[in-house]
Every structure is written in structure tokens, then in C-alpha cells.
């Protein structure tokens, strides 16, 4: 049985939490492999709603959760999230959650720098969450990051803080922001150490053992392909690679072990924050999609921008993300619309292309080319088989498959975990 990697195929917020939760019933281990607490997954289980940012969604299913080395971890945010879900009845301890000892930490100075930079950009703001994810990844690449394992070595912490503060306080002063004191940060980290270190281990060893034992591993991505730092709508992207290839490096496992790649896409399209969005709707239909879909970011609380399904964009995500099958979510939001449109390409400089260009001005200038389809009058909400779907809804899904050049292997028809139509179990390969 292969493993499965789940990634977003649009700009995030596609409903990965529900899909990962649903797939976790077939898995033994669930691994987060990139991103930070700027990501958010909402899981609806009966009357209970779980909002997760750092914790792997499989914990809701009672599965072993692993936070890989590719994740940047705000220790205080993680501990607060653990306390919150424990209060909801979830068992989270060192026996159910393991954290890579080489995962880098997000410190208060990272968030301060993130916010100061964004403020300095003025009208050119990227739309970051201000939680320090970008600066933390910068420190990782610059080889000055403080990692989980460093918490066990007070002398190492003290030396690393000297280097960090030399860099960050210089930048903060230049931006007119408040600076940080070494003693305050050191005391803060030493107080957190005994709460975090019991979770820490070289998780690559555990994953290797799980793979050799034939246990099913589910890799859970954050954000989405179009927010990938290399392949997304740069610079309006996140600070990590979000494609499935990152599951290997971000968890410490060979690329062959990643297995089947499942991309998640909404039956329409949304985006939080700034950046190009060719199929965005600023009319009553866009408002309707946002209201029906309850389109507010799990982490930011911001209203999501809404638009028609962009098949050219998802096709691009399929190619660069290595997606082998799609999970299409929120089909029910389109119920009752008399007419639907699908973006099939972009008009740019008098030509029609099927990919978003890399240059920012060209991205902003790209105009969508649409294909129009008849909507359906019946309801898809709660459907659990193809027979439950209106014929026109089936045609819509089939047309999406043709345009993105990937099969829809799973269809979600409501926030409830069991309102799902499975065409192909990803764990069956």
C-alpha cells in the first residue's frame, strides 16, 4: 500500500483539513512537512469544530502526528494550540505527537520584523499574516536559526541569540520598530524547553521504521501550489515550497516514499490576501459564493476573495505539484446557480495562454478566458454517490477533469467528514 501526500492545488483554503481527516482513518501516521502557524485547517466532527494550525489533522482521528523539520514552529503558539484541543477532548502528548528535533523555531523577533516590513511596504503589502514565518525561514537558510534541539543546550542558545539579535535588532531599528533583549529571549526559551523537549526526536528514524513496517503515512501540506515560493504567484506567496516533493525533504524520508499525490481544489476558487486572481468576481455572484462557502480564513479571519474555477491554474498546479488525482470540495456551494464559468486560459498581449506568467505585471494583466456551462437546479449537498448528483453537476466535474488533465478521485459535498464520494482510494495507489 502506498503512502499519500495531500497538497493544495489553488491558493490554499481548499478544504484540506476535512480531506486529511477523512483519509487519516486509513493511515497510521500523519505528517506536517512545511509551513508554520500561518496555515489553518478546520475540521467539523459532529457538533465539534477543530481549528488546527500546527498540529497534524490526524490527531483528531487518534493517529500519531508528526511535525517535520520543514515546518517552522512558534513554540508558544504550538503549546496554546495543544491546550485548546485538549480542552476539546483530544489526547495530545509525547505518545501521540512527535516533533523533529531539527525543526527551526519562530521567535517574537521574527513576528516583529514581519509586521514592521509589511507596514513599511505601504500600498505594496504582500498580505502576510505577520506571524514571523518568512523571517524564520530566512534565518534557517542563513544558518542562524534556533532549532528544537538547541533548547537542550543553554550555552548554544545564548551564542545563537547573540547572532540573531545582531541581525534582527539592526533591521528593527532601521524600520523604527522596538528591539529585543537577549536576557528576555533566553529566559523565555529556557522556560519553554521542558514543555517542548519531551516531544522532540529525530523523526526521520521513526518514519523509516514506519515505512519498513508497511505502515501507511499521510503527508499533510499547508497553503497550496500557487503559494509555493518558487512556483506560485511570486512575490505574493508563502516562504516555503508547498509542492509534494517537499514532503520528502520536510519530513526526512526518501522521495520514493511520498507515494500518491492528492491535490485539493474547490469547485470554485478563493484567495486570501493580495496578489493576482484572474477569475475573481467582485459582483453579487462573488458575494454569494463567499456567503454560502463561509469564506473566512481559519488563521486570519479575513474574508476570502471568490471567483470561478480556474482550470488553467489548477492544470499548472497539477504539472508542477506532481498531482495524480484531485479531491474536489464544496461542490454544493454551486447548487442553484443558473450558469457556471470555468477559466480555461488567459489573454495576454493579444494571445491566449494556458499558464500564468512568472512576471508580476504580466500576472496582474492576465485576463481570464472562460468556458460557460449550464448550472443545475437540484442539490448536491450531502451526496455520497454519483447517483445522488444532478446530471449537470456530473458534467461539470467531468469537464474539470478534462481541462486540468487529472482525474477527480474524491468529491466532497459538505463540511461533514462522511459526505464524500470516493472514486479511487489514494492508499490503493
Q: Which of 13, 101, 114, 332 is catalytic?
A: 13
Q: Which of 321, 329, 289, 328 is nearest to 308 (CA)?
A: 289
Strand, coil or helix: 401 = helix
Q: Is the pTM of this model over 0.75?
A: yes
**Is 326 within 8 Å of 403 (Cβ atoms)?**
no
Q: Is 168 a catalytic residue?
A: no
Q: Name the helix (H) or strand (E) containing 42.
A: strand 41-45
pLDDT per residue rounded down to tens, the chain (429 residues)? 589 999 999 998 898 877 888 888 889 999 999 999 987 777 777 778 888 899 998 888 889 999 999 999 999 999 999 999 999 999 899 999 999 999 999 999 999 999 999 888 888 887 788 899 999 999 999 999 999 999 999 999 999 999 999 999 999 999 999 999 999 999 999 999 999 999 999 999 999 999 999 999 999 998 999 999 999 999 999 999 999 999 999 999 999 999 999 999 999 999 988 899 999 999 999 999 999 988 876 666 668 899 999 999 999 999 999 999 999 999 999 999 999 999 999 999 889 999 999 998 999 999 999 999 999 998 999 999 999 999 999 999 999 999 999 999 999 998 887 888 998 889 886
Q: What whole-number distance in Å separates Cα of residue 99 and Cα of residue 83? A: 16
| Residue indicated by cell numbers 482521528 | 61
Alpha helices by DSSP H, 197-330: 203-212, 246-249, 284-292, 311-321
| C-alpha distances in Å from residue 151, one per residue of 17, 49, 106, 317, 347 | 31, 33, 13, 38, 53
Q: Which of 41, 110, 168, 231 is catalytic?
A: 41
**Is 200 within 8 Å of 153 (Cβ atoms)?**
no
What letter would DSSP give residue 416?
S
| Residue indicated by cell numbers 511596504 | 121
Per DSSP, the chain holds a count of helices (H) and strands (E) of 12, 18
Q: Is 13 a catalytic residue?
A: yes
Cis amide leading into 295 (omega within 30): no
Domain architecture of the chain: domains with CATH: 4-100+200-260 (3.40.440.10), 108-196 (1.10.300.10), 266-428 (3.90.170.10)
CB atoms within 10 A of CB 292: 17
Amino acid at each position: 500500500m502506498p503512502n499519500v501526500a495531500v497538497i493544495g492545488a489553488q491558493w490554499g483554503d481548499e478544504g484540506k483539513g476535512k480531506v486529511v481527516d477523512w483519509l487519516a482513518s486509513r493511515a497510521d501516521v500523519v505528517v506536517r512537512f512545511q509551513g508554520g502557524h500561518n496555515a489553518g485547517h478546520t475540521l467539523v466532527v459532529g457538533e465539534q469544530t477543530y481549528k488546527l494550525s500546527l498540529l497534524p489533522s490526524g490527531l483528531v482521528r487518534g493517529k500519531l502526528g508528526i511535525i517535520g523539520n520543514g515546518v517552522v514552529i512558534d513554540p508558544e503558539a504550538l503549546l496554546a494550540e495543544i491546550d485548546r484541543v485538549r480542552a476539546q477532548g483530544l489526547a495530545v502528548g509525547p505518545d501521540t505527537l512527535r516533533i523533529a528535533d531539527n525543526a527551526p523555531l519562530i521567535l517574537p523577533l521574527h513576528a516583529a520584523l514581519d509586521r514592521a516590513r509589511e507596514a513599511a511596504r505601504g500600498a505594496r503589502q504582500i498580505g502576510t499574516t505577520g506571524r514571523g514565518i518568512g523571517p524564520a525561514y530566512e534565518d534557517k537558510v542563513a544558518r542562524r536559526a534556533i532549532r528544537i534541539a538547541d533548547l537542550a543546550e543553554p550555552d548554544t542558545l545564548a551564542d545563537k541569540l547573540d547572532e540573531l539579535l545582531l541581525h534582527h535588532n539592526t533591521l528593527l531599528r532601521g524600520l523604527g520598530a522596538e528591539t529585543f533583549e537577549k536576557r528576555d529571549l533566553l529566559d523565555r526559551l529556557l522556560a519553554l524547553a521542558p514543555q517542548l523537549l519531551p516531544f522532540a526526536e529525530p523523526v526521520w528514524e521513526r518514519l523509516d521504521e514506519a515505512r519498513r513496517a508497511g505502515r501507511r503515512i499521510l503527508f499533510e501540506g499547508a497553503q497550496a501550489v500557487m503559494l509555493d515560493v518558487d512556483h506560485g504567484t511570486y512575490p505574493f506567496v508563502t516562504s516555503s515550497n508547498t509542492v509534494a516533493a517537499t514532503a520528502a525533504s520536510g519530513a526526512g524520508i526518501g522521495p520514493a516514499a511520498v507515494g500518491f499525490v492528492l491535490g485539493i481544489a474547490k469547485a470554485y476558487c478563493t484567495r486570501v490576501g493580495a496578489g493576482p486572481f484572474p477569475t475573481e468576481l467582485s459582483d453579487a455572484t462573488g458575494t454569494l459564493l463567499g456567503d454560502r462557502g463561509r469564506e473566512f480564513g481559519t488563521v486570519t479571519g479575513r474574508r476570502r476573495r471568490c471567483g470561478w474555477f480556474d482550470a488553467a491554474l489548477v492544470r499548472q498546479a497539477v504539472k508542477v505539484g506532481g498531482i495524480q488525482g484531485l479531491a474536489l470540495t464544496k461542490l454544493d456551494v454551486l447548487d442553484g446557480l443558473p450558469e457556471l464559468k470555468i477559466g480555461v486560459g488567459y489573454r495576454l498581449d493579444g494571445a491566449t495562454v494556458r499558464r500564468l506568467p512568472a512576471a508580476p505585471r504580466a500576472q496582474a494583466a492576465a485576463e481570464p478566458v472562460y468556458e460557460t456551462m449550464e448550472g443545475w437546479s437540484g442539490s448536491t449537498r450531502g451526496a455520497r454517490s454519483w447517483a445522488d448528483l444532478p446530471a449537470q453537476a456530473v458534467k461539470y466535474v467531468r469537464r474539470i477533469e478534462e481541462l486540468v488533465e487529472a482525474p477527480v478521485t474524491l468529491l466532497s459535498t459538505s463540511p461533514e467528514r462522511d459526505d464524500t464520494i470516493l472514486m479511487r482510494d489514494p492508499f490503493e495507489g
